[in-house]
Protein backbone atom coordinates (compact mmCIF):
# COMPACT_ATOMS: atom_id res chain seq x y z
CA UNK A 1 0.00 0.00 0.00
CA UNK A 2 2.72 2.49 0.99
CA UNK A 3 4.78 1.92 -2.15
CA UNK A 4 1.66 2.14 -4.25
CA UNK A 5 0.78 5.49 -2.65
CA UNK A 6 4.24 6.93 -3.19
CA UNK A 7 4.18 5.81 -6.79
CA UNK A 8 0.75 7.31 -7.26
CA UNK A 9 1.67 10.71 -5.90
CA UNK A 10 4.91 10.96 -7.84
CA UNK A 11 2.99 10.25 -11.06
CA UNK A 12 0.07 12.56 -10.24
CA UNK A 13 -0.46 15.54 -12.57
CA UNK A 14 -1.42 17.60 -9.51
CA UNK A 15 1.54 19.87 -8.67
CA UNK A 16 0.37 20.17 -5.06
CA UNK A 17 0.71 16.43 -4.66
CA UNK A 18 4.00 16.30 -6.51
CA UNK A 19 5.48 18.83 -4.11
CA UNK A 20 4.75 16.84 -0.99
CA UNK A 21 6.06 13.34 -0.85
CA UNK A 22 3.51 11.84 1.49
CA UNK A 23 1.17 8.93 1.40
CA UNK A 24 -2.42 8.45 2.44
CA UNK A 25 -1.66 6.28 5.48
CA UNK A 26 -0.20 9.29 7.34
CA UNK A 27 -3.62 10.86 7.76
CA UNK A 28 -5.56 10.83 11.04
CA UNK A 29 -9.14 11.94 11.45
CA UNK A 30 -9.97 14.40 14.22
CA UNK A 31 -12.40 12.71 16.57
CA UNK A 32 -13.95 16.02 17.50
CA UNK A 33 -13.49 18.41 14.58
CA UNK A 34 -14.21 22.12 14.95
CA UNK A 35 -17.94 22.79 15.12
CA UNK A 36 -18.55 26.38 14.18
CA UNK A 37 -21.68 28.38 14.79
CA UNK A 38 -24.20 28.90 12.00
CA UNK A 39 -25.19 32.37 10.82
CA UNK A 40 -28.10 33.21 8.53
CA UNK A 41 -27.20 35.60 5.72
CA UNK A 42 -29.35 38.47 4.41
CA UNK A 43 -28.39 40.07 1.13
CA UNK A 44 -29.40 43.46 -0.26
CA UNK A 45 -28.91 43.72 -4.00
CA UNK A 46 -29.26 47.48 -4.38
CA UNK A 47 -29.74 50.38 -1.98
CA UNK A 48 -33.43 50.85 -1.33
CA UNK A 49 -34.36 47.17 -1.69
CA UNK A 50 -35.10 44.77 1.16
CA UNK A 51 -32.44 42.53 2.67
CA UNK A 52 -33.40 39.00 1.59
CA UNK A 53 -32.47 35.73 3.32
CA UNK A 54 -30.14 33.83 0.98
CA UNK A 55 -28.67 31.01 3.08
CA UNK A 56 -26.26 30.37 5.92
CA UNK A 57 -22.54 30.16 6.65
CA UNK A 58 -20.45 28.54 9.37
CA UNK A 59 -18.09 30.80 11.27
CA UNK A 60 -16.44 31.10 14.67
CA UNK A 61 -17.81 34.65 15.13
CA UNK A 62 -19.87 37.34 13.41
CA UNK A 63 -16.86 39.07 11.90
CA UNK A 64 -15.71 35.87 10.14
CA UNK A 65 -19.31 35.13 9.20
CA UNK A 66 -19.39 38.41 7.26
CA UNK A 67 -16.14 37.52 5.50
CA UNK A 68 -17.55 34.11 4.46
CA UNK A 69 -20.94 35.60 3.53
CA UNK A 70 -19.22 38.07 1.21
CA UNK A 71 -17.30 35.23 -0.49
CA UNK A 72 -20.32 32.98 -0.69
CA UNK A 73 -23.20 35.30 -1.57
CA UNK A 74 -21.66 38.47 -3.01
CA UNK A 75 -19.01 36.81 -5.18
CA UNK A 76 -21.11 36.69 -8.32
CA UNK A 77 -24.24 38.77 -7.79
CA UNK A 78 -24.58 42.48 -7.30
CA UNK A 79 -24.58 43.43 -3.62
CA UNK A 80 -25.02 46.69 -1.68
CA UNK A 81 -25.06 45.31 1.86
CA UNK A 82 -24.96 42.06 3.85
CA UNK A 83 -26.28 41.13 7.29
CA UNK A 84 -25.52 38.03 9.32
CA UNK A 85 -27.41 36.86 12.38
CA UNK A 86 -26.75 33.80 14.51
CA UNK A 87 -29.27 31.09 13.52
CA UNK A 88 -30.05 30.49 17.19
CA UNK A 89 -31.26 34.10 17.46
CA UNK A 90 -34.03 33.68 14.91
CA UNK A 91 -37.52 33.44 16.37
CA UNK A 92 -40.24 32.06 14.17
CA UNK A 93 -43.92 31.24 14.25
CA UNK A 94 -43.21 28.02 12.41
CA UNK A 95 -45.33 25.96 10.08
CA UNK A 96 -47.36 24.12 12.70
CA UNK A 97 -49.65 27.18 12.85
CA UNK A 98 -49.57 27.86 9.13
CA UNK A 99 -53.37 27.86 8.83
CA UNK A 100 -53.73 30.93 11.03
CA UNK A 101 -52.42 33.03 8.13
CA UNK A 102 -55.18 31.86 5.83
CA UNK A 103 -57.71 34.62 5.03
CA UNK A 104 -60.93 32.85 5.87
CA UNK A 105 -63.19 35.80 6.55
CA UNK A 106 -63.96 38.55 4.11
CA UNK A 107 -61.13 41.03 4.41
CA UNK A 108 -61.53 43.21 1.35
CA UNK A 109 -62.17 46.15 3.71
CA UNK A 110 -58.42 46.17 4.39
CA UNK A 111 -57.33 45.99 0.78
CA UNK A 112 -57.11 48.86 -1.71
CA UNK A 113 -59.00 46.81 -4.28
CA UNK A 114 -61.92 46.55 -1.85
CA UNK A 115 -62.89 50.17 -2.55
CA UNK A 116 -64.37 50.68 -6.01
CA UNK A 117 -65.53 54.23 -6.71
CA UNK A 118 -65.26 54.86 -10.41
CA UNK A 119 -68.68 53.37 -11.32
CA UNK A 120 -70.40 55.54 -8.70
CA UNK A 121 -68.74 58.66 -10.04
CA UNK A 122 -69.68 57.68 -13.60
CA UNK A 123 -73.30 57.10 -12.61
CA UNK A 124 -73.42 60.42 -10.79
CA UNK A 125 -71.98 62.30 -13.77
CA UNK A 126 -74.49 60.68 -16.10
CA UNK A 127 -77.41 61.58 -13.83
CA UNK A 128 -76.26 65.22 -13.61
CA UNK A 129 -75.92 65.41 -17.39
CA UNK A 130 -79.36 63.81 -17.84
CA UNK A 131 -80.94 66.43 -15.56
CA UNK A 132 -79.32 69.37 -17.31
CA UNK A 133 -80.43 68.02 -20.71
CA UNK A 134 -84.05 67.67 -19.69
CA UNK B 1 -21.49 20.92 -11.24
CA UNK B 2 -21.35 18.05 -10.13
CA UNK B 3 -24.37 16.14 -8.97
CA UNK B 4 -25.32 12.92 -10.67
CA UNK B 5 -25.25 9.17 -10.41
CA UNK B 6 -26.23 9.18 -6.79
CA UNK B 7 -26.18 5.99 -4.87
CA UNK B 8 -29.22 5.86 -2.62
CA UNK B 9 -29.17 3.66 0.44
CA UNK B 10 -31.09 0.44 0.65
CA UNK B 11 -34.31 0.93 2.61
CA UNK B 12 -33.72 0.61 6.33
CA UNK B 13 -35.95 -2.21 7.51
CA UNK B 14 -35.19 -1.40 11.15
CA UNK B 15 -36.33 2.22 10.79
CA UNK B 16 -39.27 3.57 12.74
CA UNK B 17 -42.58 3.11 10.89
CA UNK B 18 -44.18 6.44 10.01
CA UNK B 19 -47.46 7.68 11.45
CA UNK B 20 -49.90 6.94 8.58
CA UNK B 21 -51.93 10.11 9.14
CA UNK B 22 -48.89 12.39 9.00
CA UNK B 23 -47.52 10.46 6.05
CA UNK B 24 -50.75 11.05 4.12
CA UNK B 25 -50.60 14.78 4.98
CA UNK B 26 -46.95 14.91 3.87
CA UNK B 27 -47.66 13.16 0.57
CA UNK B 28 -50.65 15.39 -0.12
CA UNK B 29 -48.42 18.44 0.37
CA UNK B 30 -45.93 17.07 -2.15
CA UNK B 31 -48.73 16.23 -4.60
CA UNK B 32 -49.90 19.85 -4.39
CA UNK B 33 -46.39 20.91 -5.45
CA UNK B 34 -45.56 22.49 -2.07
CA UNK B 35 -42.03 22.42 -0.69
CA UNK B 36 -41.06 20.64 2.51
CA UNK B 37 -39.15 22.82 5.00
CA UNK B 38 -36.71 21.72 7.74
CA UNK B 39 -39.23 22.30 10.55
CA UNK B 40 -41.89 20.12 8.89
CA UNK B 41 -42.60 16.54 9.83
CA UNK B 42 -41.11 14.15 7.29
CA UNK B 43 -40.91 10.37 6.91
CA UNK B 44 -37.85 8.68 8.34
CA UNK B 45 -36.78 7.33 4.93
CA UNK B 46 -37.24 10.73 3.25
CA UNK B 47 -34.86 12.41 5.68
CA UNK B 48 -32.33 9.59 5.46
CA UNK B 49 -32.22 9.45 1.66
CA UNK B 50 -32.09 13.24 1.32
CA UNK B 51 -29.13 13.53 3.69
CA UNK B 52 -27.38 10.89 1.64
CA UNK B 53 -28.22 12.59 -1.67
CA UNK B 54 -27.32 16.17 -0.69
CA UNK B 55 -24.18 15.08 1.15
CA UNK B 56 -22.96 13.12 -1.89
CA UNK B 57 -23.69 16.12 -4.07
CA UNK B 58 -21.67 18.39 -1.74
CA UNK B 59 -18.72 15.97 -1.67
CA UNK B 60 -18.82 15.79 -5.47
CA UNK B 61 -18.43 19.55 -5.69
CA UNK B 62 -15.37 19.45 -3.43
CA UNK B 63 -13.76 16.44 -5.10
CA UNK B 64 -14.75 17.69 -8.55
CA UNK B 65 -12.70 20.82 -8.01
CA UNK B 66 -9.53 18.72 -7.64
CA UNK B 67 -8.88 17.53 -11.23
CA UNK B 68 -9.50 21.04 -12.55
CA UNK B 69 -7.74 22.80 -9.68
CA UNK B 70 -4.56 20.93 -10.57
CA UNK B 71 -4.58 22.66 -13.97
CA UNK B 72 -4.85 26.26 -12.75
CA UNK B 73 -1.07 26.69 -12.73
CA UNK B 74 -0.81 25.40 -16.28
CA UNK B 75 -3.90 26.92 -17.90
CA UNK B 76 -3.02 28.14 -21.41
CA UNK B 77 -3.16 31.91 -21.11
CA UNK B 78 -4.37 34.51 -18.65
CA UNK B 79 -8.05 34.47 -19.66
CA UNK B 80 -8.36 30.70 -19.31
CA UNK B 81 -6.58 30.85 -15.97
CA UNK B 82 -8.94 33.53 -14.63
CA UNK B 83 -11.99 31.57 -15.79
CA UNK B 84 -10.70 28.34 -14.26
CA UNK B 85 -9.92 29.96 -10.91
CA UNK B 86 -13.41 31.51 -10.84
CA UNK B 87 -15.03 28.19 -11.73
CA UNK B 88 -13.13 26.19 -9.14
CA UNK B 89 -14.02 28.78 -6.50
CA UNK B 90 -17.68 28.51 -7.51
CA UNK B 91 -17.61 24.71 -7.16
CA UNK B 92 -16.23 24.93 -3.63
CA UNK B 93 -18.89 27.55 -2.88
CA UNK B 94 -21.52 25.10 -4.17
CA UNK B 95 -20.27 22.51 -1.71
CA UNK B 96 -20.78 25.03 1.11
CA UNK B 97 -24.36 25.72 0.00
CA UNK B 98 -25.10 22.01 -0.21
CA UNK B 99 -23.54 21.15 3.15
CA UNK B 100 -25.77 23.83 4.70
CA UNK B 101 -28.83 22.30 3.01
CA UNK B 102 -27.90 18.81 4.26
CA UNK B 103 -27.33 20.17 7.77
CA UNK B 104 -30.92 21.38 8.00
CA UNK B 105 -31.81 17.67 8.05
CA UNK B 106 -29.76 17.07 11.17
CA UNK B 107 -26.33 15.76 10.16
CA UNK B 108 -23.55 18.12 11.22
CA UNK B 109 -21.00 19.42 8.74
CA UNK B 110 -18.14 17.99 10.78
CA UNK B 111 -19.69 14.51 10.50
CA UNK B 112 -20.10 14.87 6.76
CA UNK B 113 -16.53 16.08 6.29
CA UNK B 114 -15.21 13.23 8.43
CA UNK B 115 -17.22 10.67 6.45
CA UNK B 116 -15.66 11.99 3.25
CA UNK B 117 -12.14 11.95 4.68
CA UNK B 118 -12.49 8.43 6.09
CA UNK B 119 -13.65 7.15 2.72
CA UNK B 120 -17.10 6.19 4.03
CA UNK B 121 -19.10 8.65 1.89
CA UNK B 122 -19.40 8.42 -1.87
CA UNK B 123 -19.04 11.16 -4.44
CA UNK B 124 -19.51 11.30 -8.17
CA UNK B 125 -17.52 8.52 -9.80
CA UNK B 126 -16.40 10.67 -12.68
CA UNK B 127 -13.81 12.44 -10.49
CA UNK B 128 -11.90 9.26 -9.89
CA UNK B 129 -10.48 9.53 -13.40
CA UNK B 130 -7.36 11.56 -14.22
CA UNK B 131 -7.24 14.88 -16.09
CA UNK B 132 -4.06 14.09 -18.01
CA UNK B 133 -3.93 17.05 -20.40
CA UNK B 134 -5.51 20.47 -20.84
CA UNK B 135 -7.93 18.83 -23.29
CA UNK B 136 -9.30 16.78 -20.37
CA UNK B 137 -10.07 20.04 -18.54
CA UNK B 138 -12.07 21.26 -21.54
CA UNK B 139 -13.99 17.96 -21.72
CA UNK B 140 -14.79 18.21 -18.00
CA UNK B 141 -15.76 21.90 -18.29
CA UNK B 142 -18.02 21.26 -21.26
CA UNK B 143 -19.45 17.74 -21.15
CA UNK B 144 -19.31 16.83 -17.45
CA UNK B 145 -20.70 20.23 -16.47
CA UNK B 146 -23.43 19.82 -19.08
CA UNK B 147 -24.33 16.41 -17.65
CA UNK B 148 -24.37 17.84 -14.14
CA UNK B 149 -26.65 20.68 -15.22
CA UNK B 150 -29.17 18.20 -16.66
CA UNK B 151 -29.20 16.50 -13.27
CA UNK B 152 -29.27 19.65 -11.17
CA UNK B 153 -32.03 21.35 -13.13
CA UNK B 154 -34.15 18.21 -12.58
CA UNK B 155 -33.32 18.12 -8.85
CA UNK B 156 -34.06 21.83 -8.40
CA UNK B 157 -37.74 20.97 -8.96
CA UNK B 158 -37.69 18.48 -6.10
CA UNK B 159 -39.65 18.68 -2.87
CA UNK B 160 -37.11 19.76 -0.25
CA UNK B 161 -37.00 23.58 0.06
CA UNK B 162 -33.41 24.18 1.23
CA UNK B 163 -31.98 21.85 -1.46
CA UNK B 164 -34.06 23.50 -4.21
CA UNK B 165 -32.99 26.99 -3.13
CA UNK B 166 -29.30 25.96 -3.11
CA UNK B 167 -29.71 24.42 -6.57
CA UNK B 168 -31.33 27.52 -8.02
CA UNK B 169 -28.27 29.54 -7.08
CA UNK B 170 -25.97 26.77 -8.30
CA UNK B 171 -27.71 26.46 -11.67
CA UNK B 172 -27.45 30.21 -12.20
CA UNK B 173 -23.67 30.03 -11.67
CA UNK B 174 -23.30 26.91 -13.80
CA UNK B 175 -24.35 28.69 -16.96
CA UNK B 176 -21.01 30.50 -17.01
CA UNK B 177 -19.14 27.24 -16.30
CA UNK B 178 -20.71 25.50 -19.25
CA UNK B 179 -20.05 28.42 -21.57
CA UNK B 180 -16.38 28.77 -20.62
CA UNK B 181 -15.95 24.98 -20.97
CA UNK B 182 -17.56 24.99 -24.41
CA UNK B 183 -15.37 27.93 -25.42
CA UNK B 184 -12.16 26.13 -24.41
CA UNK B 185 -13.41 22.90 -26.06
CA UNK B 186 -14.21 24.64 -29.35
CA UNK B 187 -10.84 26.44 -29.26
CA UNK B 188 -9.09 23.04 -29.38
CA UNK B 189 -11.56 21.54 -31.85
CA UNK B 190 -11.03 24.38 -34.32
CA UNK B 191 -7.29 24.62 -33.64
CA UNK B 192 -4.23 22.85 -35.00
CA UNK B 193 -4.05 19.17 -35.94
CA UNK B 194 -2.16 18.48 -32.73
CA UNK B 195 -4.85 20.23 -30.65
CA UNK B 196 -7.63 18.27 -32.33
CA UNK B 197 -5.78 14.99 -31.69
CA UNK B 198 -5.34 15.94 -28.05
CA UNK B 199 -9.07 16.69 -27.74
CA UNK B 200 -10.12 13.48 -29.51
CA UNK B 201 -7.86 11.49 -27.18
CA UNK B 202 -9.49 13.15 -24.15
CA UNK B 203 -13.03 12.44 -25.48
CA UNK B 204 -12.06 8.80 -26.03
CA UNK B 205 -10.93 8.48 -22.42
CA UNK B 206 -13.89 10.36 -20.91
CA UNK B 207 -16.67 8.78 -22.96
CA UNK B 208 -17.23 5.82 -20.65
CA UNK B 209 -17.14 7.82 -17.39
CA UNK B 210 -19.66 10.20 -18.98
CA UNK B 211 -22.03 7.33 -19.83
CA UNK B 212 -21.56 6.11 -16.24
CA UNK B 213 -22.26 9.60 -14.88
CA UNK B 214 -26.04 9.23 -14.54
CA UNK B 215 -25.74 5.87 -12.84
CA UNK B 216 -26.79 2.36 -13.86
CA UNK B 217 -29.85 1.76 -16.06
CA UNK B 218 -33.25 2.12 -14.44
CA UNK B 219 -34.58 -0.66 -12.34
CA UNK B 220 -38.22 -0.47 -11.61
CA UNK B 221 -37.77 -1.14 -7.91
CA UNK B 222 -40.48 -0.15 -5.45
CA UNK B 223 -37.79 1.79 -3.60
CA UNK B 224 -36.97 4.01 -6.58
CA UNK B 225 -40.69 4.62 -7.20
CA UNK B 226 -41.16 5.85 -3.65
CA UNK B 227 -38.23 8.28 -4.00
CA UNK B 228 -39.78 9.62 -7.20
CA UNK B 229 -43.21 9.89 -5.55
CA UNK B 230 -41.61 11.99 -2.77
CA UNK B 231 -39.74 14.09 -5.37
CA UNK B 232 -36.34 13.15 -3.99
CA UNK B 233 -35.35 11.57 -7.29
CA UNK B 234 -36.80 13.70 -10.08
CA UNK B 235 -36.02 11.71 -13.20
CA UNK B 236 -34.75 8.22 -13.87
CA UNK B 237 -31.07 7.69 -14.68
CA UNK B 238 -31.91 6.63 -18.24
CA UNK B 239 -34.18 9.63 -18.84
CA UNK B 240 -31.46 12.06 -17.78
CA UNK B 241 -28.77 10.23 -19.75
CA UNK B 242 -30.97 10.34 -22.84
CA UNK B 243 -31.68 14.03 -22.39
CA UNK B 244 -27.94 14.71 -22.12
CA UNK B 245 -26.99 12.61 -25.18
CA UNK B 246 -29.75 14.25 -27.18
CA UNK B 247 -28.50 17.75 -26.45
CA UNK B 248 -24.72 17.27 -26.52
CA UNK B 249 -23.76 14.43 -28.89
CA UNK B 250 -24.65 16.60 -31.94
CA UNK B 251 -22.54 19.49 -30.56
CA UNK B 252 -19.48 17.21 -30.52
CA UNK B 253 -20.16 15.54 -33.86
CA UNK B 254 -20.64 18.84 -35.70
CA UNK B 255 -17.02 19.68 -34.88
CA UNK B 256 -15.89 16.56 -36.76
CA UNK B 257 -15.03 14.73 -33.53
CA UNK B 258 -16.16 11.19 -32.74
CA UNK B 259 -17.12 8.99 -29.80
CA UNK B 260 -15.34 5.66 -29.26
CA UNK B 261 -18.61 3.70 -29.47
CA UNK B 262 -19.74 2.25 -32.83
CA UNK B 263 -23.15 1.46 -31.31
CA UNK B 264 -23.93 5.05 -30.29
CA UNK B 265 -26.95 6.19 -32.29
CA UNK B 266 -30.41 7.66 -31.86
CA UNK B 267 -33.39 5.52 -32.72
CA UNK B 268 -35.46 7.80 -34.97
CA UNK B 269 -38.67 5.96 -34.01
CA UNK B 270 -38.42 6.14 -30.22
CA UNK B 271 -36.11 9.15 -29.90
CA UNK B 272 -34.00 7.12 -27.48
CA UNK B 273 -30.23 6.90 -27.69
CA UNK B 274 -28.64 3.51 -27.87
CA UNK B 275 -25.07 2.99 -26.63
CA UNK B 276 -22.68 0.06 -26.41
CA UNK B 277 -22.14 -1.84 -23.15
CA UNK B 278 -20.24 0.65 -20.94
CA UNK B 279 -19.11 -2.10 -18.51
CA UNK B 280 -21.17 -1.40 -15.42
CA UNK B 281 -18.84 -3.68 -13.46
CA UNK B 282 -16.21 -0.96 -13.85
CA UNK B 283 -18.66 1.63 -12.48
CA UNK B 284 -19.14 -0.46 -9.32
CA UNK B 285 -15.42 -1.15 -9.04
CA UNK B 286 -14.59 2.56 -9.14
CA UNK B 287 -17.36 3.61 -6.79
CA UNK B 288 -16.16 1.06 -4.28
CA UNK B 289 -12.71 2.62 -4.22
CA UNK B 290 -10.76 0.88 -6.95
CA UNK B 291 -10.60 3.54 -9.66
CA UNK B 292 -7.56 5.14 -11.25
CA UNK B 293 -7.62 8.20 -8.96
CA UNK B 294 -9.65 7.32 -5.83
CA UNK B 295 -6.55 7.22 -3.60
CA UNK B 296 -5.06 10.34 -5.16
CA UNK B 297 -8.25 12.41 -4.75
CA UNK B 298 -8.72 11.35 -1.15
CA UNK B 299 -5.08 12.05 -0.46
CA UNK B 300 -5.33 15.57 -1.90
CA UNK B 301 -8.44 16.23 0.18
CA UNK B 302 -6.79 14.94 3.34
CA UNK B 303 -3.71 17.06 2.70
CA UNK B 304 -5.89 20.19 2.42
CA UNK B 305 -7.76 19.24 5.59
CA UNK B 306 -4.53 18.76 7.55
CA UNK B 307 -2.92 21.93 6.25
CA UNK B 308 -5.97 23.97 7.23
CA UNK B 309 -6.35 22.55 10.73
CA UNK B 310 -4.06 25.00 12.52
CA UNK B 311 -5.88 28.05 11.22
CA UNK B 312 -9.34 26.65 11.98
CA UNK B 313 -8.19 25.97 15.51
CA UNK B 314 -6.57 29.40 15.81
CA UNK B 315 -9.79 31.27 14.96
CA UNK B 316 -12.01 28.86 16.89
CA UNK B 317 -14.18 30.31 19.61
CA UNK B 318 -14.61 27.48 22.11
CA UNK B 319 -17.72 29.06 23.66
CA UNK B 320 -19.72 28.69 20.46
CA UNK B 321 -21.54 25.56 19.46
CA UNK B 322 -22.80 24.21 16.20
CA UNK B 323 -26.42 25.04 15.44
CA UNK B 324 -28.54 23.59 12.68
CA UNK B 325 -29.14 26.22 9.95
CA UNK B 326 -32.58 27.72 10.08
CA UNK B 327 -33.59 27.33 6.44
Q: How far is it, in rounded angstroms, from Cα A113 to Cα B262? A: 66
| Residue B4 main-chain phi, psi, to 5 deg | 150, 150
Strand partners, A83: A42
Q: What is the pLDDT of residues B36-47, one digit of tens each?
A: 999 899 999 999
CATH at residue A54: 3.10.20.520
Query: Residue A1's closest chain B neighbor by CA?
Result: B295
Mean pLDDT of B248-275: 96
Distance of residue B284 Cα from the nearest chain A Cα, in angstroms:
21
In this predicted structure, which of A8-12, B81-85, B213-217, B260-264 has the lowest mean pLDDT?
A8-12
Mean pLDDT of A71-76: 92
Contact residues, chain B, for A17 at CB < 8 Å:
70, 296, 299-300, 303
Closest Cβ opposite residue B326 in set A9, A16, A90: A90
Q: C-alpha distances in angstroms, B117 versus A15, B128, B195?
A: 21, 15, 37
What pLDDT is recorded for position A129? 92
Residues B159/B226, Cβ–Cβ less than 8 Å: no
Separation of first and last alpha carbons in chain B: 22
Q: Give the count of domains, chain A.
A: 1
Q: Is residue A97 part of a domain?
A: no
pLDDT confidence band for B186 (50 / 70 / 90): very high
Mean pLDDT of B46-59: 94
| Residue B103 main-chain phi, psi, to 5 deg | -60, -30
Q: What is the pLDDT of residues A77-133, one digit of tens each?
A: 899 999 999 998 999 887 777 777 776 677 788 888 889 999 999 999 999 998 888
Do the chains contact at A27 and B306, CB–CB below 8 Å? Answer: yes
Q: Is residue A75 part of a domain?
A: yes
What pLDDT is recorded for position A123? 95
| Residue B322 main-chain phi, psi, to 5 deg | -65, 135
State yes or no: pLDDT of A25 exceeds 70: no
**Residue B243: helix, strand or coil by DSSP?**
helix
Q: How far is it, in rounded angstroms, from Cα B284 to Cα B229? A: 26
ipTM of model: 0.85
Domains defined along chain B, listed by start: 33-313 (1.20.1260.10)
Mean confidence (pLDDT) of chain B: 91
Query: Which candidate in B34, B167, B292, B296 is best for mutational testing of the A interface (most A CBs within 10 A)?
Result: B296
Distance of residue B212 Cα from the nearest chain A Cα, in angstroms:
23
Q: A58 lies in which domain range?
A: 2-27+35-89
The full 3-state SS of B9-29, as one line of letters, equals CCCCCCCCCCCHHHHHHHHHH
Do the chains contact at A23 and B327, CB–CB below 8 Å? Answer: no
**Spacing of C-alpha A65 from chain mean position:** 14
Q: How far is it, in rounded angstroms, from Cα B195 to Cα B188? A: 5
- Write the burial class of residue B96 (CB in 10 Å: 0-12 exposed, 13-18 middle, 19+ buried): buried
Q: Is residue A128 part of a domain?
A: no
Q: Is residue A115 part of a domain?
A: no
State yes or no: pLDDT of B53 exceeds 90: yes
Q: What is the pLDDT of residues B197-211, one digit of tens each?
A: 999 999 999 999 999
Query: Residue B300's closest chain A neighbor by CA?
Result: A17
Do the chains contact at B96 and A64, CB–CB below 8 Å? Answer: no
Of B40, B15, B16, whose CA–CA distance to B27 is shortest?
B40
More confident residue, A23 or B243: B243
Q: Is residue A106 part of a domain?
A: no
Q: Is residue A73 part of a domain?
A: yes
Amino acid sequence: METADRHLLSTSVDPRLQRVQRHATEFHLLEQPEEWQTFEVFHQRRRGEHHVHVGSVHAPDAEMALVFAKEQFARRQQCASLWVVASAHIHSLGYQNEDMFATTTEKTYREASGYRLRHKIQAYKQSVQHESNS
Amino acid sequence: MYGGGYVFCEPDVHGQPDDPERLAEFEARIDRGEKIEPQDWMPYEYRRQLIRLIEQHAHSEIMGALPEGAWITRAPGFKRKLALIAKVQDEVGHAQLLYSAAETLGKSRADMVNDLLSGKSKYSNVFNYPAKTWADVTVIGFLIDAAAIVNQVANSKGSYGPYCRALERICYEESFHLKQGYDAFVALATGTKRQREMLQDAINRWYRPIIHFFGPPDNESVHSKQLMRWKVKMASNDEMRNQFLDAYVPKVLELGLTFPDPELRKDPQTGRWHYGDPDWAEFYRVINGDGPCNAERLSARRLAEENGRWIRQAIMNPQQKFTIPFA
